[in-house]
Amino acid sequence: MQCIVNRRAQFSASHRYWLPELGEAENIEKFGACSRFPGHGHNYVIFISLAGELDEYGMVLNLSDVKQVIKREVTSQLDFSYLNDVWAEFGQTLPTTENIARVIWQRLAPHLPLVRVQLFEHPELWADYLGNGMEAYLTVSTHFSAAHRLAHPHLSQEDNTEIYGKCARPHGHGHNYHLEVTVKGEIDQRTGMIVDLGALYQVIDNYVVEPFDHTFLNKDIPYFAEVVPTAENIALYISNILRSPIQELGAKLYKVKLIESPNNSCEIYSTDSESTSASTAIPEPQLARI
């Protein structure tokens, strides 16, 4: 029986986004505060996912051995380092989150049966690399606060209460929504980026956070005048409105995850179609409630 196991590791390091072939003004325009000398630091967290058959001892691999490989090949070299100088690969392609994940894969692949390298630069920014050339995934997390009422506009209060319970109460209720947006694309050979991170944050802010924050969704967002603003429908709507502007940035929207509460969240996986529809299919599910 095949199983996937995950090993966590961490390191602290600094880096700087700076291309010597560009002038100071160009670097500042391209990378903003990340271009400042002498760089800035992060407490990075890595999750290494490994696949294999269970052996007679009930293990895919001896995790003590895995720990030593990760330490020898990655963390002992990167911890308390200046990433731009520590590995030759980062002289060619800048040490962005997504490119660090890619190079870590390259360092570990000869020694471990990798299926994924996930690297957190901080809790609201992380990258996933699956071993597919220069392709990677970048996720950013943000939040907004909004109220909603779960009630179909063409049903009676009694019918809505039967379907949605106390969520159908006339005055609605609120949530502190957490939103994760994952984009997919090719890592640029020089900048190390899938997408301009500042531009991505701006798109999410313009299209979602500012219009949604501190609103009553049923009344303030016209789409939800006729569509019940469940977490699923909100995530679906966000996916549909983000797809085109993210594509204009040179990346593809891969996933929208909306966390309504610690107990409820849902995920919408984007496709190349114009409008996403609900489904629970895997590996390309349109909707999966957790």
Contact at 8 Å (CB) between 81 and 180? no
Catalytic residue selected from 89, 111, 152, 167: 167
- How many helices (H) and strands (E) would you count in the chain? 11, 11
Separation between Cα atoms, residue 173 and residue 168, nearest integer Å: 9
Radius of gyration in angstroms for the set of CA atoms belonging to the chain, rounded to a whole number:
22
CA 60: distance to chain centroid? 27
- The question of whether 260 is a catalytic residue gets the answer yes
Catalytic residue among 121, 180, 232, 260: 260
How far apart are alpha carbons 148 and 173 in whole angstroms? 6
* Residue 214 annotated in active site: yes
- Which H or E element spans position 220? helix 217-220
Q: Is 154 a catalytic residue?
A: no
Contacts of 62 (CB under 8 A, 6+ apart): none
Catalytic residue among 3, 214, 226, 248: 214
Please check whether residue 88 is in contact with residue 64, taking contact to mean a CB–CB distance below 8 angstroms: no
CA distance 117 to 130: 7
Active-site residue set = 167, 214, 260
